[in-house]
Protein backbone atom coordinates (compact mmCIF):
# COMPACT_ATOMS: atom_id res chain seq x y z
CA UNK A 1 0.00 0.00 0.00
CA UNK A 2 2.96 2.31 0.34
CA UNK A 3 3.29 2.49 -3.44
CA UNK A 4 -0.17 4.07 -3.78
CA UNK A 5 0.96 7.76 -4.02
CA UNK A 6 3.35 6.94 -6.84
CA UNK A 7 0.68 4.88 -8.56
CA UNK A 8 -1.81 7.74 -8.33
CA UNK A 9 0.79 10.14 -9.73
CA UNK A 10 1.47 7.82 -12.66
CA UNK A 11 -2.24 7.30 -13.26
CA UNK A 12 -2.91 11.06 -13.30
CA UNK A 13 -0.09 11.49 -15.81
CA UNK A 14 -1.45 8.81 -18.12
CA UNK A 15 -5.04 10.03 -17.92
CA UNK A 16 -3.99 13.63 -18.53
CA UNK A 17 -1.98 12.55 -21.56
CA UNK A 18 -4.95 10.53 -22.81
CA UNK A 19 -7.12 13.62 -22.54
CA UNK A 20 -4.64 15.65 -24.55
CA UNK A 21 -4.26 13.02 -27.27
CA UNK A 22 -7.98 12.46 -27.79
CA UNK A 23 -9.24 15.97 -27.26
CA UNK A 24 -11.67 17.71 -29.58
CA UNK A 25 -11.65 21.12 -28.01
CA UNK A 26 -8.71 23.35 -27.18
CA UNK A 27 -10.12 24.44 -23.83
CA UNK A 28 -10.59 20.79 -22.81
CA UNK A 29 -6.99 20.18 -23.87
CA UNK A 30 -5.62 22.91 -21.63
CA UNK A 31 -7.54 21.57 -18.66
CA UNK A 32 -6.11 18.12 -19.23
CA UNK A 33 -2.68 19.75 -19.28
CA UNK A 34 -3.42 21.17 -15.82
CA UNK A 35 -4.25 17.65 -14.57
CA UNK A 36 -1.00 16.38 -16.10
CA UNK A 37 1.02 19.03 -14.29
CA UNK A 38 -0.63 18.24 -10.99
CA UNK A 39 0.56 14.65 -11.22
CA UNK A 40 4.14 15.87 -10.83
CA UNK A 41 3.15 17.77 -7.68
CA UNK A 42 1.74 14.60 -6.15
CA UNK A 43 4.90 12.65 -6.99
CA UNK A 44 7.29 15.29 -5.64
CA UNK A 45 5.43 15.80 -2.39
CA UNK A 46 5.16 12.06 -1.79
CA UNK A 47 8.91 11.68 -2.16
CA UNK A 48 9.56 14.26 0.52
CA UNK A 49 7.12 13.02 3.15
CA UNK A 50 8.29 11.63 6.47
CA UNK A 51 5.97 9.66 8.77
CA UNK A 52 5.46 11.49 12.05
CA UNK A 53 7.00 14.68 10.72
CA UNK A 54 5.51 18.11 11.04
CA UNK A 55 5.54 21.02 8.59
CA UNK A 56 8.98 22.63 7.95
CA UNK A 57 8.02 25.78 9.86
CA UNK A 58 9.67 26.33 13.21
CA UNK A 59 7.71 29.29 14.53
CA UNK A 60 6.24 27.45 17.51
CA UNK A 61 8.02 24.10 17.44
CA UNK A 62 11.65 24.06 18.51
CA UNK A 63 14.36 23.27 15.99
CA UNK A 64 14.97 19.56 16.03
CA UNK A 65 11.40 18.26 15.87
CA UNK A 66 11.11 15.87 12.92
CA UNK A 67 9.86 17.68 9.84
CA UNK A 68 9.27 16.85 6.21
CA UNK A 69 11.59 17.90 3.43
CA UNK A 70 11.32 21.62 2.59
CA UNK A 71 13.26 21.50 -0.67
CA UNK A 72 10.48 19.68 -2.49
CA UNK A 73 7.91 22.16 -1.18
CA UNK A 74 9.87 25.03 -2.70
CA UNK A 75 9.97 23.28 -6.08
CA UNK A 76 6.24 22.58 -6.12
CA UNK A 77 5.34 26.09 -4.96
CA UNK A 78 6.97 27.88 -7.85
CA UNK A 79 5.68 25.22 -10.19
CA UNK A 80 2.06 25.97 -9.26
CA UNK A 81 2.45 29.67 -10.05
CA UNK A 82 4.15 28.87 -13.35
CA UNK A 83 1.22 26.58 -14.22
CA UNK A 84 -1.21 29.48 -13.83
CA UNK A 85 0.69 31.76 -16.16
CA UNK A 86 1.29 29.05 -18.76
CA UNK A 87 -2.44 28.31 -18.77
CA UNK A 88 -3.14 32.02 -19.31
CA UNK A 89 -0.83 32.11 -22.31
CA UNK A 90 -2.31 28.93 -23.82
CA UNK A 91 -5.85 30.24 -23.35
CA UNK A 92 -5.03 33.47 -25.15
CA UNK A 93 -3.55 31.38 -27.99
CA UNK A 94 -6.79 29.37 -28.14
CA UNK A 95 -8.85 32.56 -28.25
CA UNK A 96 -6.71 33.86 -31.09
CA UNK A 97 -7.04 30.61 -33.02
CA UNK A 98 -10.80 30.78 -32.63
CA UNK A 99 -10.85 34.36 -33.84
CA UNK A 100 -8.82 33.56 -36.94
CA UNK A 101 -10.27 30.20 -38.00
CA UNK A 102 -13.65 30.04 -36.31
CA UNK A 103 -13.48 26.68 -34.61
CA UNK A 104 -11.73 25.11 -31.68
CA UNK A 105 -10.98 21.58 -32.83
CA UNK A 106 -7.33 20.57 -33.04
CA UNK A 107 -7.99 18.21 -35.94
CA UNK A 108 -9.65 20.79 -38.15
CA UNK A 109 -7.07 23.56 -38.01
CA UNK A 110 -5.64 23.29 -41.50
CA UNK A 111 -2.61 25.47 -40.90
CA UNK A 112 -1.27 23.19 -38.17
CA UNK A 113 -1.22 20.11 -40.34
CA UNK A 114 2.29 18.95 -41.07
Partner 1 sequence: MTITTRKRLFVMFGAALLAIFMLAVRELPEFGHYRGPYGDVLNRETVYERHVTDVVSAVNFDWRGIDTLGEESILFLSVVGTIVLLRTGDGETEHKDEQGTTSNDDIPLPSEATRVASLGLVGPLVVFGLYIVTHGHLTPGGGFQGGVVLATAPLLVYVAGDLKTFKRIANHEFVEITEALGIGGYLSSGFLGMVLGSAYLRNVLPLGTTGHLFSGGTILVLNVFTGAAVAAGMVSILYAFLEHTIEVRLRRKG
Partner 2 sequence: MAFIQVTILIFVGITGTAVVVTRNPIHQVIGLSFYGIILGLFFFILQAPDVALSQITIGAVVLPLMFMLALAKIRRQEQRKSSSGHPESARGA
The residues binding partner 1 (CB under 8 A) are 2-7, 10-11, 13-14, 17-18, 21-22, 24, 46-51, 53, 55-59, 63-64, 67-74, 77-78, 80-82, 84-86, 88-89, 92-93, 95-96, 107
CB of 67 to partner 1, least distance (A): 5
Query: Which own/partner contact pairs does 8-13 have at CB distance under 8 Å and 24+ positions apart?
Result: 8/42, 9/39, 9/40, 9/42, 9/43, 9/46, 10/39, 10/43, 11/39, 12/36, 12/38, 12/39, 12/42, 13/39, 13/40
**How many residues touch partner 2 (CB under 8 A)?**
51
Is 30 a residue that touches partner 2 (CB under 8 A)? yes
Is 71 a residue that touches partner 2 (CB under 8 A)? no
Amino acid sequence: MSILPYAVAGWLFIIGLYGIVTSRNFIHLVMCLAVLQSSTYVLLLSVGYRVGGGPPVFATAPVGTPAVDPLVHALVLTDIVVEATVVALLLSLAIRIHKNTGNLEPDKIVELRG
